[in-house]
Amino acid sequence: MKITLASVVPRRSRSKVEGVDAMVSEYVQRSTRFTPCDAVQFESEAALLASAERQPGRPAGLLVLLDPRGKLLTSEEFAAYMGKHRDEGVQRMILAIGPADGWTNAARERAQLLFSLGRVTLPHELARAVLAEQIYRVLTILAGHPYHCGH
């Protein structure tokens, strides 16, 4: 299953916070040891949703949206969710961080899961880094790798 960490950030709004892109890249690179993984930034919600749709030669992606109203999951529960879909043959999973003003109702309805990293508000850059680490953590849990060690 290919995993895409997606975020909606207009080019003019992209932060230059030093170290965030490096941290995201590091966790994405680590994740590729277990499954194909990438990180993509989209100009708009519409562009992200279009990317999630079936296209010639590419299946539709299972869409997980980060949303403050979403479901709170432990790392183990998130691993169980991702593992279940991997085992059911899902080929693409897109985990997406939304635009500054939040997801539209249409996007929420398209998603298979609304997922929350917590009830606090995080800057977009920090949410990307935390999500990248959680993807890696989930993959290590599924692989029985000692990184997680039951924390």
**CATH code at 66?**
3.40.1280.10
pLDDT at residue 101 tops 70: yes
pLDDT band at 9 (very low <50, low <70, confident <90, very high): confident
Q: What is the pLDDT of residue 139?
A: 98
Q: What is the pLDDT of residues 109-125, one digit of tens each?
A: 999 999 999 999 888 88
Domain around 113: 2-143
Helix (H, G, I), strand (E, B) or coil at 91: coil
72: enclosing H helix or E strand = strand 62-72
Whole-prediction pTM value?
Answer: 0.91
Q: 10 falls in which pLDDT band (50, 70, 90)? A: confident
- Examine residue 57 and state whether it is found in any structural domain, yes or no: yes
The CA-based angle 115-119-123, given to 5 degrees, is: 85
Specify if 103 maps to a domain: yes
SS3 at position 9: coil
Whether residue 150 lies inside any domain: the answer is no
The mean pLDDT of 91-107, rounded to a whole number, is: 94
Structure tokens at 49: 């949703």
Query: Does residue 149 lie within any of the structural domains?
Result: no
62-72 and 37-42 as β-strands: parallel, antiparallel, unpaired? unpaired
Q: How far apart are CA 102 and CA 92, in angstroms?
A: 23
Is residue 145 predicted with pLDDT exceeding 70? yes
Residue 20 is assigned to a structural domain of this protein: yes
Helix (H, G, I), strand (E, B) or coil at 150: coil
70 annotated to bind ligand: no
C-alpha 108/C-alpha 87 separation (Å) is 24
33 is a domain residue: yes
Would residue 109 count as lying in a domain?
yes
CA dist., res. 145 & res. 147, Å (int): 6
pLDDT over 70, % of the chain:
95
Instruction: Compute CA distances 56 → 53, 60, 113, whole Å.
Output: 10, 10, 25
Total domains in the chain come to 1
5 contacts 136 by C-beta, under 8 angstroms: no
Answer for the pair 35, 1: CB distance below 8 angstroms, yes or no. yes
Residue 113 marked in a binding site: no
Whether 148 is in a domain gets the answer: no
Residue 16 has pLDDT above 70, yes or no: no
